[in-house]
Structure 1
């Protein structure tokens, strides 16, 4: 997949660092930057007559003004940079964030979610893009640059539908990379994995010109995300490509999982595909 439009989702209250990083990413990849600034409404406060209180109405007016100023500031910044871009602002209830982001992400190739935002807002934005747009999500660690032109890629592989979609989505990236490590954690020979786990996907990627190495790693009782992150650092990977939510969201929320861990604390940039 060639990425020509990047949706950047930002908190209208704090966005400068994420905007700079996204502008650099789009400039390097010759991509259009579509910025969505979101202001999540404060909970309503009611007065003596069961209507909105005057204080809450003042808060709402101030939030609208903050959003409008942020939109204008981002437009000014991007004009000075010289990128192809568009900027929109949305004032919304917390429960609408996932729908809003999902709807916008349908018209982009990838959604880049800002790092400087409330964790619950960020989680809703990520899930909205993953579940309601059929588009991948790009996650950047704090204070670390992210790229659409990685030199080294780690592909997390477990023969699932999600990892299969992730491999196909990132195929162009991997073809242009200097090297790709396909990583399997605690693989077992099976109908799905074959007699030599990882060999089938490696052959598929190699036919597309990907310079691929298969790494079968033991977890030794550690969480899978720890194994993946450590290996990404050891192989100097610029990007981890991974399928998202191999289990249900409810199970991930209750018991934890690789997706949840990668969302909450990415160590290196992550391209997540559902």
Structure 2
């Protein structure tokens, strides 16, 4: 198994270079094709405009979205040109209203083995950045590699990987989808934070998953950690720092997206603060 069809999308110019560089490294190492899509988003709320002004507002909003798509397309084009002549890629652009963004993104993501995106929070990022990630994972059913400002690992594949494990469906899906990265890594640490004393894996936390991965040739081991910090995401972040990890793999949105948006959760916390590339699947 290898990633043969990759997709990256730009809803703003921020983070495009790091995301394209990461996607290109993976594509070149896997002899894969990279599709790049520049997005322009119409964020107008026409339902709240004065009577008779709707057409004018729509026209202005569409012109802004088209200009945004051009700027994002230029950022993508420059980043792709910096990757050298061996990269096979295509570049396209599209404009959509914020409410229709999910359909547009999912229609592209469902035909990709891996979607590579910049970190959704930070300077220049709007609400559409998180919407793109969620659309790719939920409706597009694609794993997502989120690349922070510092970029991807030095090589085409991460050397040390932290795999977050909590026995959930989402975590298992993430582990399976990340197999190409896991098999290429020098070390994969299955990390379990404060496992339940009466759970199904109480006698051997992470043992069955470790066995599964080892049979695939993954150099896996298990680490069971106490919850010494207030949030699970903080413990995982410290584990990545302690191991000098190049990638964190985790299942995404074990709770509902609405609950995470209001109350927070491990997925949202990691997306906000991740210092290493983050591999997510749902």
Judge which range, 193-202 or 225-234, deviates more: 193-202
Alpha-carbon distance in structure 2 between the residues aligned to 1:90 and 1:225: 35
- Determine helix, strand or coil for the equivalent of 1:237: coil
Alpha-carbon distance in structure 2 between the residues aligned to 1:141 and 1:78: 18
Q: Superposition pairs for residues 100-139 of structure 1, below 5 Å?
A: 100-115=104-119, 117-139=124-146
Alpha-carbon distance in structure 2 between the residues aligned to 1:32 and 1:114: 19
Aligned residue in 2 for 1:273: 281
Q: Answer whether contact 1:110 1:135 (CA < 8 A) is retained.
A: yes
Structure 1 residue corresponding to 2:222, chosen from 205, 214, 226: 214
Any gaps of 5 or more consecutive residues in structure 1? none
Q: Answer whether contact 1:189 1:196 (CA < 8 A) is retained.
A: no
Measure how far apart 1:20 and its partner are.
4.2
Aligned residue in 2 for 1:187: 195
- Determine helix, strand or coil for the equivalent of 1:143: coil
Aligned residue in 2 for 1:171: 179
Aligned residue in 1 for 2:4: 4
Measure how far apart 1:61 and its partner are.
3.1
Q: Answer whether contact 2:42 2:62 (CA < 8 A) is retained.
A: yes
Judge which range, 73-82 or 229-238, deviates more: 73-82
Q: Answer whether contact 1:8 1:113 (CA < 8 A) is retained.
A: yes
Distance 1:47 1:250, change over 3 A: closer
Q: Please tell me the root mean square deviation across aligned C-alpha atoms, in Å.
A: 2.6
Deviations 1:206-264 (A, max 9, x none): 22222112110011242111110111111121111100111122222222110111222
Measure how far apart 1:136 and its partner are.
0.5
Deviations 1:90-144 (A, max 9, x none): 1111122222111110111111113475241111001101110111011011132
Alpha-carbon distance in structure 2 between the residues aligned to 1:211 and 1:22: 24
Q: Answer whether contact 2:10 2:16 (CA < 8 A) is retained.
A: no
Distance 1:26 1:194, change over 3 A: same
Q: Answer whether contact 1:44 1:56 (CA < 8 A) is retained.
A: no
Q: Answer whether contact 1:26 1:32 (CA < 8 A) is retained.
A: yes
Measure how far apart 1:88 and its partner are.
1.5
Distance 1:159 1:66, change over 3 A: closer
Q: Answer whether contact 1:41 1:60 (CA < 8 A) is retained.
A: yes
Alpha-carbon distance in structure 1 between the residues aligned to 2:193 and 2:53: 57
Any gaps of 5 or more consecutive residues in structure 2? none
What TM-score do the two structures reach when normalised by structure 1?
0.88
Q: Answer whether contact 1:11 1:117 (CA < 8 A) is retained.
A: no
Q: Structure 1 residue 85 and structure 2 residue 86: aligned?
A: no
Alpha-carbon distance in structure 1 between the residues aligned to 2:146 and 2:276: 9
- Determine helix, strand or coil for the equivalent of 2:142: coil
Q: Answer whether contact 2:14 2:125 (CA < 8 A) is retained.
A: no
Q: Answer whether contact 2:193 2:225 (CA < 8 A) is retained.
A: yes
What TM-score do the two structures reach when normalised by structure 2?
0.85
Distance 1:118 1:212, change over 3 A: same
